[in-house]
Chain A
Amino acid sequence: MNNSTILFGVLSSLALVSGGLVVRSGALNPVPAVFLFLLVFVLCSGLLVWLDLDFFAMIFLVVYAGAMVVFFLFVVMMCTFRREGREHEVAPRHTEFVVGLLFLSHLWLVLERSPRPPTPSAYPIGEHCGHVTSATHLDTLGTLLYTHVPLLFIGSGLILLVALLGAIVLTVHTPGD
Chain B
Amino acid sequence: MTELGFGSRLPYGSTISPECIPIPSSIIILMIDSTHEGDTYWSYPISLTCPVIGIMVPLSQWREEPIISPACGAQTNTCDDIFQSSILLRSILRAPLSAEHFQCTEMAVTESPFFALAATLGGMFPRCASDLVTISVAPERSSLCLHPSSGCTSRDVRPSEATVKYSLLGGTSSSILVHGFPWLYGPPGGEVQPWGILNGIVESKMQNSAGISIAPVRIMAGIVFKPSLVPYHQWTPDVYEGSPTPVVAFPPVTSKVAASGLATRIFNLLSPLSGEWHLLPEILAILSTILGNLIAIAQKSMKRMLAYPPISQIGYITIGLIAGNPSGYASMLTYTLFHIFVNLGALARIALFSSRTGTDSIRDCAGSCGQDPLLALRPTLSPSPLGGFPPLSGPFGKPYSSWCGRQAGLYPLVPIGPLTSVISIYHHSKIIKLLMGERGGRKLATPRTINKRIPSLSSPHTPESLIELGTMPRVVASTTLGLTMNPVTTTARDNIPNQIFAHTATILMDFGEMSSE
Contact = CB atoms under 8 A, between A and B. Distances in A.
Given A151-B20, A159-B141, A177-B155, A124 B27 contact: no
Given A116-B11, A149-B72, A104 B34 contact: no
A10 interface: no
A111 B193 contact: no
B160 A170 contact: yes
Contacts of B195: 122
Interface string B34-51: 110100000000000000
A94 B31 CA distance: 10
Given A107-B23, A111-B20, A165 B141 contact: no
Contact of A100 (B31, B131, B196): B31
B26 A97 contact: no
Given A150-B72, A151-B16, A151-B19, A111 B31 contact: no
A93 B74 CA distance: 39
A148 B204 CA distance: 29
Contacts of A1: none
B140 interface: yes
A170 B152 contact: yes
A84 interface: no
The DSSP consensus for interface residues of chain A is helix
B82 interface: no
Contact of B70 (A96, A116, A122): A116
Interface in A97-134: 97, 100-101, 103-104, 107, 111-112, 114, 116-120, 122-125
B118 interface: yes
A97 B31 contact: yes
A96 B155 contact: no
Interface residues of B, number: 49
The DSSP consensus for interface residues of chain B is helix
Given A96-B35, A107-B23, A170 B163 contact: yes
Contacts of A93: 34-35, 37
B137 A156 contact: yes
Interface in A128-169: 148-152, 154-156, 158-159, 161-163, 165-166, 169
Nearest to A175: B157
Contacts of B487: none
B35 A124 contact: no
Given A94-B35, A104-B24, A112-B10, A165 B71 contact: no
A173 B114 contact: no
B128 A97 contact: no
B24 A169 contact: no
Contacts of A112: 10-11
A120 B114 CA distance: 34
A148 B16 CA distance: 13
Contacts of A100: 27-28, 30-31, 34
B68 interface: yes
B510 interface: no
Contact of B71 (A96, A118, A151): A151
Contacts of A159: 140-141, 144
Contacts of A152: 72, 128, 134, 137
A170 B155 contact: no
Most chain B beta-carbon contacts within 10 A, residue among A101, A120, A125: A125
A120 to B, nearest CB: 6
A96 B155 CA distance: 27
Contacts of B23: 107, 154-155, 158
Contacts of B31: 96-97, 100-101, 104
Nearest to B192: A125
A119 B70 contact: yes
B148 A162 contact: yes
A155 B71 CA distance: 13
Nearest to B195: A122
A115 to B, nearest CB: 9
Query: 6 closest A-B pairs (Cβ-Cβ)?
Result: A100-B31, A166-B148, A96-B34, A169-B152, A124-B73, A97-B35
Given A96-B31, A125-B131, A152-B134, 20 more contacts: A100-B30, A103-B27, A104-B24, A112-B10, A122-B68, A125-B72, A148-B71, A149-B72, A151-B71, A151-B72, A152-B72, A158-B141, A165-B114, A165-B148, A166-B145, A169-B148, A169-B152, A170-B151, A170-B163, A175-B157
20 contacts: A96-B31, A96-B35, A104-B27, A104-B28, A104-B31, A116-B11, A118-B70, A123-B196, A124-B73, A125-B131, A148-B70, A151-B20, A151-B71, A155-B125, A155-B141, A158-B23, A158-B118, A165-B114, A166-B115, A170-B148
Interface of B: 10-12, 16, 19-20, 23-24, 26-28, 30-31, 34-35, 37, 68, 70-74, 109, 111, 114-115, 118, 121, 125, 128, 131, 134, 137, 140-141, 144-145, 147-148, 151-152, 155, 157, 160, 163, 192-193, 195-196
Interface of A: 93-94, 96-97, 100-101, 103-104, 107, 111-112, 114, 116-120, 122-125, 148-152, 154-156, 158-159, 161-163, 165-166, 169-170, 173, 175, 177
